[in-house]
Structure 1
Amino acid sequence: MKRFAFTLLELVFVIIVIGILAVLAMPNFRGNPLQTAAEQVASHIRYTQHLAMVDDIFNPNDPTWWQTRWQIQFENAAPNPGKMYVIYRNLNKDTNENDNEIARDPHTRQLMRGADKDIAIPPFKYMDNLLISKKYGITNVIFSAGCNASGPTSNRIGFDNLGRPYTRSNSAISPYANLMTVDCNITLVHPDGNAIITVSPETGHVSLN
């Protein structure tokens, strides 16, 4: 009875072929920075919504309590060029975030604000991956008209305890003022193309286009 077996040369050849096929099928370990940035931003918008839904901010002694809702805000990354973002609850009702207002990453406990750890004074307490221009090469963040994109507070989205999205939360004159009524499209601009993140009205559903 004949037995069939690989010779050593054939075995080496098979291993080489398998290696070549594996390399061809393997995703690029460097990844797509635009896609990574878009997925991260979308995830953090969802996390902002989660914080709003689990945090009961109603205060009968505060006549404008709704202005302290959890929100995600995009800013110029001074002193760096480009863009960053921050997740915070606007306790003092201004247009800026303070450390005691900023959300903490549930895993690292870092403050969820973009910053450059290369120039920060240690210990570094913020998150460098939220500095999306330096981390991922994002050159601009553009809000559509559905985000009420006009004025100094148009670069943010807030959520209420039902998860509904609001535009320009800081300037709302009543609890349901600035409730989002149409899709808000957030465009991340990158040299390799654009990615669009859509926040839907009423549900606050976040999707990538």
Structure 2
Amino acid sequence: MKKAFTMMELVFVIVVIGILAAVVMPRTGSNRLNEAAIQVVSHIRYTQHLAMIDDKFDSADNDWYRLRWQIKFSKVGGSDNKWAYAIFSDADVGSGHDGNPNDNETAVNPLDNSKKLTGGYSGTIEYGDSKATKELNLGHSYSVEDIDLVGGCNISNDGKKRISFDYLGRLMYENPKDLDSSYKAGAINRLVISQCRIEICTVSDCTAATSEQKVTIAIEPETGYAHIL
């Protein structure tokens, strides 16, 4: 005689599936944050790679160190007022180094040469531009509401958050255009000497985010190694 499930057994299985679904589903939001963090870590490493293979030293240019490759996080009109980032080398476009990811300064997307590595920035490649890489707009792509830089990397005075790398792949903080020598702005050495942390959050203030609402990327001093905590 063939064996079959009883009604009680079927009900029990359905209840167990329901409990598992209730436990797993709330974690969907944090998975999106993890996806965002994995992408950002990849692009931090790519920025470091560009800095190491594209040494900006030029004996004929006294400001060569201001061209170092950097990654800049910002929330501006050109990013549709969402948190986004761009990878670029800040060239002197005739009026000096302005610290903004202009079209001809922004890295080409290695996965699609018709696009640049920016999620949108005012007055340059904006979010709606066909050249923008939409995934770099973390607000639109991953519902990110705030980004904070803490630890060994400071926040620049203009409210934009950025890091850069030297030709050895070492991490530097704040805006390279403010440097007046290779590593110093006045008496301040811009090399990062303690762990830098980038917090990516789904709430408007990372300082109030819970562990489910925040993911943290760490970048180590000296090596510039980026990883998710």
* Bin of the TM-score, shorter chain as denominator length: 0.7 to 0.9
In structure 2, the residue matched to 1:111 is: 116
Question: How far did residue 154 of structure 1 move?
Answer: 5.9
Letter in 2 for 1:106: P
Aligned CA RMSD, in angstroms, stands at 2.7
Alignment of 1:84 with 2:84, yes or no, is yes
Question: How far did residue 101 of structure 1 move?
Answer: 0.4
Q: 1: CA distance between counterparts of 2:101 and 2:160?
A: 15
In structure 2, the residue matched to 1:4 is: none
Gaps of 5+ in 1: 1-6, 10-16
Please say if residues 181 and 201 of structure 1, whose CA atoms lie closer than 8 Å, have aligned partners that are also in contact.
Answer: yes
Please say if residues 142 and 186 of structure 1, whose CA atoms lie closer than 8 Å, have aligned partners that are also in contact.
Answer: yes
Q: 2: CA distance between counterparts of 1:184 and 1:152?
A: 19
Letter in 2 for 1:113: T
Q: 1: CA distance between counterparts of 2:167 and 2:156?
A: 25
Q: 2: CA distance between counterparts of 1:71 and 1:150?
A: 13
Question: How far did residue 150 of structure 1 move?
Answer: 4.1
Q: 2: CA distance between counterparts of 1:170 and 1:153?
A: 15
Question: How far did residue 72 of structure 1 move?
Answer: 0.2
Question: How far did residue 81 of structure 1 move?
Answer: 2.7
Please say if residues 74 and 85 of structure 1, whose CA atoms lie closer than 8 Å, have aligned partners that are also in contact.
Answer: yes
Gaps of 5+ in 2: 5-12, 185-189, 204-211
Please say if residues 74 and 161 of structure 2, whose CA atoms lie closer than 8 Å, have aligned partners that are also in contact.
Answer: yes
Q: 2: CA distance between counterparts of 1:150 and 1:114?
A: 20
Letter in 2 for 1:172: L
Please say if residues 148 and 154 of structure 1, whose CA atoms lie closer than 8 Å, have aligned partners that are also in contact.
Answer: no
Letter in 1 for 2:216: I
In structure 1, the residue matched to 2:207 is: none
Question: How far did residue 77 of structure 1 move?
Answer: 3.8
SS at match of 2:44: helix
In structure 2, the residue matched to 1:102 is: 106
Cα-to-partner distance string for 1:91-133 (whole Å, 9 max, x where unaligned) = 122121211100011111210000399x725xx1110010101
Alignment of 1:120 with 2:128, yes or no, is yes
Q: 2: CA distance between counterparts of 1:176 and 1:94?
A: 18
* Percent of matched pairs sharing the same residue: 35
- Look at both structures and tell me which one has the larger radius of gyration over its CA atoms: 1
- TM-score of the aligned structures, taking structure 1 as reference length: 0.80
Please say if residues 73 and 160 of structure 2, whose CA atoms lie closer than 8 Å, have aligned partners that are also in contact.
Answer: no
1:2-151 matches, cutoff 5 A: 32-79=31-78, 80-92=80-92, 93-109=97-113, 110-115=115-120, 120-121=128-129, 124-151=130-157
Question: How far did residue 149 of structure 1 move?
Answer: 2.1
Q: 1:185 to 1:85 in 2, by over 3 A?
A: same
Q: Choose from 188, 192, 196 the match for 2:216.
A: 196
Paired residues, number: 187
- TM-score of the aligned structures, taking structure 2 as reference length: 0.73
Q: 2: CA distance between counterparts of 1:195 and 1:172?
A: 31
User: Runs (4+) of structure 1 moved beyond 2 Å?
Assistant: none
Q: 2: CA distance between counterparts of 1:153 and 1:163?
A: 25
Q: 2: CA distance between counterparts of 1:183 and 1:153?
A: 21
Question: How far did residue 184 of structure 1 move?
Answer: 1.0
Q: 2: CA distance between counterparts of 1:145 and 1:197?
A: 11
Letter in 1 for 2:108: R
Please say if residues 95 and 153 of structure 1, whose CA atoms lie closer than 8 Å, have aligned partners that are also in contact.
Answer: no
Letter in 2 for 1:104: V
SS at match of 2:91: coil
